[in-house]
Amino acid sequence: MITLLVGTNRPNSRARRIANYYSTLLTDLGAESQILDLAELPVDFIVSALYENVGTNPAFNSLARMLDAGSKLVIITPEYNASFPGVLKAFIDGLPYPGGIRGKKAALIGLSNGGQGGLLAMTHLTDILMYLGTAVLPQRVRLPFINQDLNQDDGLNNDLSRQLLQEQAEALLAF
């Protein structure tokens, strides 16, 4: 089982739409996947599921357990203010330590409206994942100008974007 982690809690986000697309890629490759969307986090999780409250919020715990279903994950993150969304960091901070995502293998996809394609977000996230003992697949995919690339059917208009995601999915399965 591969968990596709939508790295924002924005409802109906572009990151979620990319997760839907990637899930189809994995299905076509014969791999099972699930989508963990941070839009499903309890609104009060930073006070009800972190620090002295670790393990006490059933809704947060349910999402955190999704990561335990397999040894691989794909994190799809938009770039917010030259990094990844704070809600993703807070979610990671709420995971069991040193467990949580330690020992897992991760692929990263960054997206942005500009030309960087989430590069800064993926760089910051890579540092944190490696600190936590998560192996990061070298083939990180940047999806720049996502508003132009993502179409109404949750497909991608750019051949290169489709190719890079396909190659990354194949590499993740072999990782």
Check residue 63 and give its pLDDT. Answer: 94
Which residue type is seen at 113?
A: N
Q: pLDDT-based confidence at 64, cuts 50/70/90? A: very high
pLDDT classification of 4: cutoffs 50, 70, 90: very high
Q: How confident is the model over 88-112, as a mean pLDDT?
A: 93
pTM: 0.96
* pLDDT value at 173 more than 90: yes
Q: What is the pLDDT of residue 53?
A: 87
Q: Where are the domains of the chain?
A: 2-174
Token pair belonging to 67: 């990561």
User: From 2.40.10.220, 3.40.50.360, 3.40.50.720, 3.90.1150.10, which CATH number describes the 2-174 domain?
Assistant: 3.40.50.360
The predicted pLDDT at position 147 comes to: 94
Distances in whole angstroms, Cα of residue 91 to Cα of each of 12, 45, 131, 164, 175: 18, 9, 16, 27, 25
Q: Where residue 11 falls among pLDDT bands split at 50, 70, 90? A: very high
CB 150 within 8 A of CB 156: yes
Mean pLDDT of all residues in 146-157: 93
What pLDDT, on a 0 to 100 scale, did the predictor assign at position 54? Answer: 85
Structure tokens at 111: 């997206």
pLDDT of residue 70: 87
Helices 86-94 and 119-131, interaxial angle, to 10°?
10
pLDDT class for 80, splitting at 50, 70, 90? Answer: very high
The phi and psi torsions of 117 (rounded to 5 degrees) equal 65, 30
The residue to which tokens 């014969």 are assigned: 30
Residue 124 pLDDT more than 80?
Answer: yes
Of the candidates 33, 44, 38, the one whose C-alpha atom is nearest the C-alpha of residue 13 is 38
Residue 175 pLDDT class (50, 70, 90 cuts): very high
Residues 6 or more apart whose Cβ sits within 8 Å of residue 147: 14, 113
Q: Are 60 and 94 in contact (CB under 8 A)?
A: yes
Provide the percentage of residues in the chain whose pLDDT is more than 70. 100
Structure tokens at 78: 């938009």
Question: What per-residue confidence (pLDDT) applies to 99?
Answer: 77
Banded model confidence at residue 138, pLDDT cuts 50, 70, 90: very high
* Mean pLDDT computed over 131-152: 96
DSSP class of residue 156 equals B
Instruction: For residues 1 and 31, give the distance between their C-alpha atoms in angstroms, rounded to a whole number.
Output: 7
Query: Distance between CA 82 and CA 112 in Å, rounded?
Result: 10
